[in-house]
Amino acid sequence: MKKQTEVVVVGSGPGGASVARQLARAGKKVILLERGRDHRRAPYYGTPLGALIYSDRFSFLFTKEGLNIIRPLMVGGATSMYCGSAARPPAWLKEKYHIDLGQYVEETIAEIGIAPLPPEQRGVASTRIAEAALDLGYNWEPLLKFMRPKRLDCGAKCMYGCRCGAKWNAGEWVDDAVAAGCELITQARVDELIIERDQIGGVRGTLRGQAFEIESKIVVLAAGGIGTPMILQHAGFFEAGHGMTMDTTAMVYGAGKDKGIGDEPPMTWAYADDEIGYMLSTLIDPRLLYPIITALKGPQYPFTWHRWGRTLGVMIKIKDDISGGITFEGEISKPMSARDQFRLNHAAIVARKILIRAGADPETIFLTPLRGTHPSGTVRVCEMLDANLQTHTKNLFVCDASVFPEALDRPTVLTILGFGKRLAEHLLKNVLG
């Protein structure tokens, strides 16, 4: 297959969807390539089986150090299996790197209707955790959510994919892009960038086993913190994937006498310690995932499964240092620095105090194994990219979590959408004309 277009966007997560949508609505010829399928209308979508089907390596993707990474490969990207949480970009992005996403983020908040859930939908047990934290002097606040309160009859508790539409999904913006004239091609894997005289000329890859080539003036890589650096490495960008962040995450669990948070919307309350470098929120693994995750800690821990319904959970997300990286074969390494270990232990001590205050039995409290929730910082802005997200190859841009210059240690989707809107505006004003 051979095609020609003005813009090729690789990846349909929040970065790719936002760029493709805005360019298509401006009348530009856009082809959006997605490695996975569109599973949103499949009967298994939003089920444990579905999560295995559309996650990379059937959800068993691990770093060399043992961090589990859930990486959905489908239309909508990571927003297909996220907690629907939002946070404005950290202040240091503007102060330190002079990248101001403010107007784009506020526009997105208003457009989607991003806001904390009403008090009655934040969960009784989750609110009890937040109140316990407030009693101890920690300023927990309701977290911004990509959730529609009127559709919360399902509880919006599913982390396998949202069947009821309570959570916003980047696939919705893909649909908008297609309605505006964008061509969506699924099951298309990009293997090669066409570069001539330091200028992008298109992409090559395989489509359902058959070779394809698309010529284009502009290419935007939005294949995620893992996929994007691998594509760049194959094209000779040797620095891509050298060093990364992960917002390394763990849960602290403790069981009480009352009902736990398992049937409540995830991450309705949160707290950030920006001085030490971590975030806390209310969260627990889904019922069927709980014994699998806890088994990674030790053979005795799955036997706590019977108290899942009474379990309170506090998620820890640390601002991890840049380290490790990704090889061209996709092998991932993300070691913890001494500072990362300090952040984790500090957060775990605070979480334990909060859980005890919220009614958890101290004898039941434990820390889960680490996991990598936000593979990012692999093609860092102001280091590998200029301020407009362009590589040293003309008209080759990047727009996903890989552009983060350092760990966000907070929900990433809103920041990525801000980057996407900003990039689309730049392309329309300064490149496409």
**pLDDT at residue 365 is higher than 80:** yes
Per-residue pLDDT reduced to its tens digit, 380-426? 999 999 999 999 999 999 999 999 999 999 999 999 999 999 999 99
Q: What average pLDDT score do residues 260-284 get?
A: 97
Instruction: Flag whether pLDDT at 156 surpasses 60.
Output: no
pLDDT of residue 117: 96
* Residues 29-58 pLDDT 10s: 999 999 999 999 999 999 899 999 999 998
Is residue 153's pLDDT more than 80?
no
Q: Above 70 in pLDDT, residue 343?
A: yes
Reported confidence tier of residue 433, pLDDT bands at 50, 70, 90: confident
The yes or no reply on domain 1-38+74-114+168-244+375-433 and CATH 3.50.50.60 is yes
This prediction has a pTM of 0.97
Q: Is the pLDDT of residue 267 over 70?
A: yes
User: Which of 15-29, 98-112, 138-152 has the lowest average pLDDT?
Assistant: 138-152
Q: For residue 164, what pLDDT is reported?
A: 84
In this structure, are residues 407 and 378 in contact, taking their beta carbons and an 8 Å threshold?
A: no
Please state, for a pLDDT cut of 70, what percent of the chain lies above it: 99
Domain 115-158+246-373 bears CATH identifier 3.30.560.10: yes
Who's near 400: CB < 8 A, 6+ residues apart?
Answer: 11, 13, 14, 15, 16, 221, 222, 223, 224, 225, 228, 416
pLDDT, averaged across the chain: 96
User: In the chain, what are the domain boundaries?
Assistant: 1-38+74-114+168-244+375-433, 115-158+246-373
pLDDT band for position 155 (cuts 50, 70, 90): low
* Element (DSSP H or E) covering residue 249: strand 249-255
Range 112-135 average pLDDT: 98
**425-429, Cβ contacts within 8 angstroms, sequence gap of 24 or more:** 425/22, 425/104, 426/388, 427/7, 427/19, 427/23, 427/218, 427/397, 428/22, 428/23, 428/26, 428/28
